[in-house]
Structure 1
Amino acid sequence: MATSPLPALDNSDPRLLLAVENRVKNIFVTQSEDTRIKKAENVNYIPVVTETSSKVLEAGVNTLQKTLVLKKQAELDEVDKQLALKRQEFKSCAEALAQRRSELEIKQQQTKERAMKFEKFVAENEAKRHRALRKYEAAREQNISKKKEKEDLTQQLKHLRARHQVLKERMAKYKIYEDYLMKTLDYLPSTYHDNGSESLVMPIIRRHETLSITHQELLQRLGRLEEEVEQGQRQLRTMKHGHSIKKLMANKELSELQSELETLKEKNKQAEVNLLLEQGLSREKVEEVGSLLMAINNLAEQCYLPAYGPLENMDTLTMMDMVKEYILDKADTERRARRLMESGSALTSRTALTDKRDRGSMKNIGSKTQIKSSSKASRKSEMTS
């Protein structure tokens, strides 16, 4: 039930000041002036009290209950004022702390947003870098293939030029034979020209022409086969090169994934450490918990009860319950033994008290008989006297 506070008292209130006046002493008119002066010398005048009421109340001894109530009321008002000041200070401190907490939360949110933006920026840059690397690898592969084709074409051009030079030299070598045959034809008679188609030379010439044509076709076919073989070799080389590039890219991605895995592991370890720090756990506490578990296991081994089953399958709470039950059982046994011992000691003390009482009653009876006999003897002596 809430009590209503008493009204506050102000020390400057004139009603609380104790006004004491120097009253005039009662003097009879019939007294002479000399006696008045002589008696005035031994008069103790009442001094004027100029102190405050609270000091007067503190210094007073034979004060009334109401005055004591006023004194306590003044002290209570002072305590209320101090309490109000402390509440105001606490309220201002709480408001300042709340404001600081809100500011810290805002700053934390801003840092989180900045971290998220930075992570997004890093991810975008990483994606751009991967795309640029892929484009660079593709362009490099294309440049390498173009260079290979250029080298092959230059090699073919050199080969064709060398062949052309060889054929040109061969034509220059056989030019004299052609000129000689043309001159011999010019010197032959016309009748020989008319019957030349029927002669034996024409089948040889035709045979040579067919052989040269088949030779050209075979050379062309061989060139085509060589080109196909070279194309297949180029394709094989490009496939091997692409396979090696893909292997390198796969190894690179694997190394990047491994590095990401290591960073994630580090982040997880840091997060676990931060979590342990936030929860107030430290290495000393962990060691203390370990020692506590070892102590519990030792107590469980010492206080083992077969009703709880095998000790290896018990958890910590079950072990503690078992130890508690064991201790309670031992304490109950000890209390029973003490009760039995106390009951035995009480019986022995009772018997001793009864023996003492019996002995005291016998002594009292003896003393009473002695007193009676002495009183009778004194009476007899008095009668005889």
Structure 2
Amino acid sequence: MACGPSGIRKMDAKCKVVNKFLQTEKQVNRGPEQSWTQGFACDLYLKECEQKKHRALEKYRREQKNNAAKRQEIVQLKKKIQKLKFRQEELQKKIGKYKRFEEFLQKIFDALPSTEYGYLAYGEDSLIKTLIKRHRTLVTEKERLLRKLSVQQYSLQETLHEFRVLQEEYNTAQYMVMAKVSELQSKYNELQTKNTDLMQFINTKEDLLTKRCQELSRMLLAVSGLAEQCYMRHYGALQEMTLWSKLSMIQEFILEKMQIKEETMSLIKAGKSSITLLKEQLPKQKYSGRVLLHADRSPEEEMV
């Protein structure tokens, strides 16, 4: 029985034909019992057809899965065959490469004696003796080189161990140096800040000193000007006088002027009091004329 899509289509066509035939037969035969029997038989046939169809579909699906698995297996086998071909080619190349060594060894084997001690019959200059000596020399050299290699390996391990120790020490020292550099950098920044503050303070002080120097210069000029105005001969030449002498001279001059002013004021007060007494003694008629006369005069003139 066909289990593919064509078989399923054929079964569907048969079912359709049977259904059509049963419908035609129902129309021809109108008997109730016969119609029920034919309908029951038709239902059984249809159920059987559905079951066959279901089984065919299941079988078709299983075959599809098996075919897909086989195709994957075929692809994998082809890949393995391709790899084996590449491997075969490589081995053939190696066989061709070592073919000459095989021929050389075969020639040596043919030249060797058939017995174990047969080579003793050959002389010292024979090829066999030369090969044996060369072999022994090479074996000895190989052992020496192996011993040297083991010593070198041990030395290399010790060197690597020392290198690791030095690497760790270097990393530790580098870390410490970086920490020290960071600390010094922070200190440098602090000192830089302090230096900036000190420079600002010094500049401020220099400005104040400059202002004070200017004020002192102005004061010295003022003292020199006052000394010229208050010059007194008994102090000597003005150019040769010191600052203290100039100040003393100015002080003396001011005190003298104040004393003169006080004496003058006392004389003025005494003159005013005498004038007042004189006014009281003179008659009123004469006093009015004299008062007008003396009103235009200053107190100093009156004192004179």
Q: TM-score range by the shorter chain?
A: 0.3 to 0.5
Structure number, greater radius of gyration: 2
Q: Structure 1 or 2: larger helix share?
A: 2
